[in-house]
Structure 1
């Protein structure tokens, strides 16, 4: 499991409005494409460089493909990264703060200590 890669996905998708829409409408295709094309690119690197060893686990892929923020949290994804991306994707389908409240309710079953979100 790579919390870094999971958080990198959430971070990079959230910062690109076209990727947000792509992920909203085709999560499986977006995850497959991102893992093949973006996952091993170094962030904020002026000269394009790539690593070759990073990939999602099956559990991470499943959670990303299903937009399952509870599973992502349990896998160690940072809750702020998940929340901001999912607000961008789903808030428009709900009234004011409805999505954020539902997000919180879905995580109510978790108690301290939360999964480690340090990368």
Structure 2
């Protein structure tokens, strides 16, 4: 399991509007593409610089492909990263103000302190 890789996925997808839409419409394909093409690229580095060992495990891949933010939180993904990305993807589906944020809070309400470790 790699909390770093989960957070890197959330961070990089959230910063690209085209990737946000791609992830919304085809989560399984986007996760597979990102893991193959982007996971080992070094953030803020020249093109061509990469590592070779980073991979999602089956639980991480399933949680990402299922848009399962409670599972991502349980796996250690940072809640601010999941919240901002999933707001970008799903807020438009709610009629009431803060509709998605309320659902997010409700779906994570079963967690109590101490929360899962979100250190990377």
- TM-score after normalising by structure 2: 0.98
- Are 1:75 and 2:86 counterparts? no
Query: 2 CA distance for matches of 1:74 and 1:34?
Result: 21
1:67-99: CA deviations, max 9, x gaps?
000000000000000000000000000021010
- TM-score after normalising by structure 1: 0.98
Query: 2 CA distance for matches of 1:35 and 1:118?
Result: 21
In the alignment, structure 2 segments of 5+ residues that lack a partner are none
Over the aligned positions, Cα root-mean-square deviation in angstroms equals 0.6
- Equivalent residue runs for 1:1-119 within 5 Å: 1-95=1-95, 96-119=97-120
Give the CA deviation at 1:47: 4.4
Query: 2 CA distance for matches of 1:112 and 1:48?
Result: 42
Give the CA deviation at 1:21: 0.2
Q: Which range moved further: 70-79 or 40-49?
A: 40-49
Partner SS for 2:33: helix
In the alignment, structure 1 segments of 5+ residues that lack a partner are none
Give every structure 1 segment of 4 or more consecutive aligned residues whose post-TM-superposition deviation is greater than 4 Å.
Answer: none
Partner SS for 1:49: coil
